[in-house]
Structure 1
Amino acid sequence: MHNKLIQIITVAALSLATAAPVQAQQPQWVEIAQTGGGDRVFFDTASQVRLFDAGVKQNTFRTVTLATVPGRRSLRSRYQADCFKGTLALRGLELVNAQGTPIREVPLERADKDPIVPAKDTIAADIWQYACSQF
C-alpha cells in the first residue's frame, strides 16, 4: 500500500512538473464552439494543467467567449474538467475587453463552482469534450 501511494504521488508530481512549463506560454486559442447568439468560444491550449494518475484524470484550463454583438461583454472562464466523472466545474470568471485584458472579476456563488455533468449538445459539453479528448 505504501509503495502504491508513493507511486501515485510521484505520477501526480511528474504530471504537474511537465504541465507547468506549458502554462507559462502565451495563450494559444483554438475555436471550439459558437453560441446560439453567435458568440465564439475559444479554448486556451497553453493554459492546460493536466492531472493524470491512478483514478484521476483532470484538466484545468481557460476559455474565452468573444461577444459578436455590440454591447455584449466578452468573458474569460477558468474550468476544471474531471474526465473520469464526466463533470465540468467553473473556477473563475472575468469580463475582458477586446484585447482580452481582464476588466473585472465576476464573483461566483458556491453553487456556481459545483461540478456538473454537461447536458448533451451544449457549449459546456463541447468544452468538456475538448478538454478530455486527449486523455
Structure 2
Amino acid sequence: MEVSEEPKSLLADVAVAMCPSRLVLEHVTSRWGVLVLIALRERSYRFSELRRRVGGVSEKMLTQTLQTLERDGFVHRDAKPVIPPRVDYSLTGLGEEAADRIADLARWTDARVPAVQEARARYDEARREAAARSSQ
C-alpha cells in the first residue's frame, strides 16, 4: 500500500508523543541513521570503513547509531571471533526496506534542491525588505 493510501489517522499517530512508531521514525530518520542506512545499502562495512563512508560522524555517535539501529532490527552486527576482532555491519531485511524508502527520499531531495534554494532566496529577500522597511 502506498503511503498516500494510508488512512489519515494512521499517519497522524506519529504526532502523538506516546505513539510507538514515532520513536522508530526518529531512529530511522535521525541525522546519522539516515546516512548509515544509505551507506549500508551499498554493502556491509567494518566500523572504521563505515565511519569514513559517513563523513563527519564521531566514533561515539556512530556506535550509538549502530546500536540503536541494531536494537530496532535494521542492522545486523556480525562479530567474528578472530584476532584482531572483526565486526561487520549489514542491513537486515527490515533495514533494506527502510533504506530503500530513505534512498527514495534522498533522490527526491536531491532533485528538489534548486526549488528549495529558490524558496530560500525569496524568503531571505522578503526578510531583508521587511527589515529595511521597519528601520525607516
TM-score tier (shorter): under 0.3
TM-score by length of 1: 0.23
TM-score by length of 2: 0.23
Larger gyration radius, structure 1 or structure 2: 2
Structure with a larger share of its residues in helix: 2
